[in-house]
Structure 1
Amino acid sequence: MMIQPFKALFFLTLILGSMLTLSSPSWFIMWLGLEINLMSFIPIILENNNQRSTEASLKYFVVQASGSTLILFSAVSLLLKNYPLSPPSFLQTSYILLLSLAAILKMGAAPLHFWFPGTAEGMSWLNCMTLMTWQKLAPMIFLSYMPLSSAVILSILLSSFFGSIGGLNQTLMRKIMAYSSINHMSWMLLSIHLSMKIWTSYFLIYSLISISFMLFMLKNKIFHLSNLFFKKTNYQKFNCSLLLLSLGGLPPLLGFFPKWMVINKATSFSMFLTTFIILFTLISIFFYIRMIFSSTMLNYMNKKQMTLVSPNNTTEILSILFSIIGTAVSMKIFFF
């Protein structure tokens, strides 16, 4: 499938905006990079030109513009007031708290996640891939420059809670992926304040698994949970099951090892925080397993559905390899 020239141009500026935020030491240039990223993503969302994509783009613009306003206000206030670095004053702490909340809002982490599932539902699978992976990169790097605050700790706890509980009663696949992304945000927010190496490993592995799963959904035109149950071969169900279990972090699949790295480092930081996010991650694994059980057992008595069909698509083969063989890469990152 050929990419349209205007879409390629906007994807290029999208990447450049994020790289500008990642590489700049200045608050203003970082804010400028976030704005370039925002204005590049809006036309990409509107490519379908229907009511759902228009609504999604409007939600995304309003939320991101609100976050950018908070960043600009807080950063300018910190620069103009010229607060001493030590000891931090009350107003300085308040402005840093606002900067943290703005980054949390822009990445769609709880408790400011209200816009994320609805916006993801109005997008295509390709745009969902961008929203749930690349679009989280710049706000997380922005947040890593600030000290660990109470707002970030609260966001870690609530992202784990809402990400797991919110996905239990969902039947729309893009909303399920949105709540899964919110749950993974708790792990990434914790890891980014523990070690940049661990966060980089977690983000890359999460992005790899999520993109593989969403490409599988796109190829098979799956948008609702019922689409996963019927007219699927055993091979497709096996592929989907592997990706879901890996996304949930079940050992020994690829998604388990970044969680293992975070747990190994976080137990010395806060045992309560680590135990909390592990318990609520088990709930997300529960609804992944429920989806797998329903999709594999619903048509068990239909013998035509039990024939094993060999793969005929490179994407499907790679998604299985990434889920299984990638464990060796994760173990190398962990031990070396």
Structure 2
Amino acid sequence: MGREDRAMIVRLRPETDEQESEALAAALRRAGLDVTLLTLGGTPLLSVNGRAVPPEVEQELLRHPAVEKLLRPDRPYCLAARSSRPDGTVVRVGPVEIGAKQPVIIAGPCTVENRDQLLRIAEAVRDAGASMLRGGAFKPRTSPYSFQGLGERGLELLAEAREETGLPIVTEVLDTEQVELVARYADMLQIGSRNMMNFALLRKVAATGKPVLLKRGFAATIEEWLLAAEYLLAGGNDQVVLCERGVRSFEPATRFMLDLNAVPLVRQLSHLPIIVDPSHGTGLRELVPPMSFAAIAAGAHGIIVEVHTSPEAALVDGRQSIDPTTLASIVRRVRMLRDMVEELVAV
């Protein structure tokens, strides 16, 4: 029987404070058990892994006043499963809440090109109603000769844009050596599609305690995606947002196939919030507005879109970048649509 087959989730009562949760986790560790404690974003959880819980310990747990329920999830992703936190998780990035009622709009350039470009776009997306600013300082490119980003200088510019606009920033981290550097600047760390199954990177990012945006690998199944999220949660970090960004298919007319089936399905399977990236999912700016609306109608907690003041001149991904005027229209309609479909979303 595998490790995941012996896992037990201890769901604590919502009013349990962190001190009491820590004390219970410490007691289980003294009993020789491998315990992960999650206290942010929703109902506090303990995951007990590695070997079967002795019957006498299980009985003590059932009698403990802080314990609401013991669960043995029937899926390999235990901490990420909806059953472990039925009311869902809210991820907080500064003042922004992802997973709450209000849809979150993350917008900005694909890559930080220079100071003037970034500050102009940051101000434009703020004025258009965006909740957060995105921008790549380190860029994973298919060709080694393509623009790879500005590196730490890009991070410095993103921090300056945050100071100017008040928008929290999310940016991608590419490897384990960059984690501490990127975490010093960013409010949220992004794991890109190519790195979704980079387990060493997932573990190191989890250890920062920073909120994480986990993009689905473009050849990954939903279970593989949720197991990648499980690495982050098992590292003690439940501030994880899933991002559907399209999967590779046989169709060459669009960059990827945006899998909107994943949105309601993931909401059934997992308590983690999910957003959608219609920019990468389509590769065509004309399709970004309708797919943004479709994502919200399917139950997404928000969208992440690429915006440029001069899309045709963008160094990276100009064809899928929208302008600020289009963003403002999307923001207005997304918020109206969310109010209309809220009652139709099952969970």
Place the TM-score, normalised by the shorter chain, in its bin: under 0.3
Q: Which is richer in strand?
A: 2
Give me the TM-score of the superposition, normalised by structure 1: 0.26
Q: What is the TM-score when the length of structure 2 is the normalising length?
A: 0.25
